[in-house]
């Protein structure tokens, strides 16, 4: 049996999408694919043999959520705005879909796992919660809708 290699830690990762790089990403969640089977079909055939079949349906992808540390960089917010602002015919979500990727690194900083995200665009933006008594970093959240993810390494 081959060795599984070095374990990946959940703290060394990165997200980028067609020209959106150098972001301080705090958390990535929602890398999910689901294929809920159609209701099982039960029946009885000649000789009283009972049959059962579960049939696959359409694949569903969960939205990917990126939590990032707020900085003066507003590239991700501008991307959201271009895709979602109510600008009538000026809304450009279809033209602004991007190919993204999430990469996990080993302890030496070498890429060891990669998920490609096809035709993603932001569908939700949440700004930071600011409190005078807090000592935490300000965080922003971007939620991405997409047309598929694939683990390529």
d(CA 26, CA 59): 28
Per residue in 49-104, pLDDT (tens digit) is 877 777 788 889 999 999 999 999 999 999 998 888 776 666 677 788 999 999 99
Give the chain's radius of gyration (CA, Å). 21
Q: Which residues contact 139 (CB under 8 A, 6 or more apart)?
A: 26, 67, 68, 69, 70, 128, 129
Tokens matching residue 64: 């990917």
The answer to whether 23 touches 67, Cβ cutoff 8 Å, is: no
Residue closest to 61 by CA, chosen among 107, 138, 135, 118 = 118
Q: Which residues contact 5 (CB under 8 A, 6 or more apart)?
A: 112
pTM over 0.75: yes
Mean per-residue pLDDT for 32-55?
78
* Domains assigned to the chain: 13-36+51-151 (2.30.110.20)
């Amino acid at each position: 049996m081959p060795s599984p290699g070095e374990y990946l830690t959940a703290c060394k990762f990165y997200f980028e999408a067609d020209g959106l790089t150098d972001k301080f990403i705090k958390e990535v969640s929602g890398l999910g694919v689901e294929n809920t089977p159609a209701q099982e079909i039960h029946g009885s055939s000649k000789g009283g043999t009972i049959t059962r079949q579960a049939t696959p349906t359409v694949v569903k992808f969960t939205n990917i959520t990126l939590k990032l540390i707020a900085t003066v960089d507003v590239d991700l917010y501008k991307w959201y705005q271009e895709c979602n602002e109510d600008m009538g015919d000026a809304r450009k979500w279809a033209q602004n879909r991007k190919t993204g990727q999430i990469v996990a690194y080993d302890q030496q900083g070498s890429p060891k796992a990669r998920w490609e995200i096809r035709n993603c665009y932001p569908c939700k933006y949440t700004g930071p919660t600011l409190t005078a008594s807090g000592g935490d970093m300000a965080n922003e959240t971007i939620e991405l809708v997409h047309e598929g993810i694939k683990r390529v390494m």
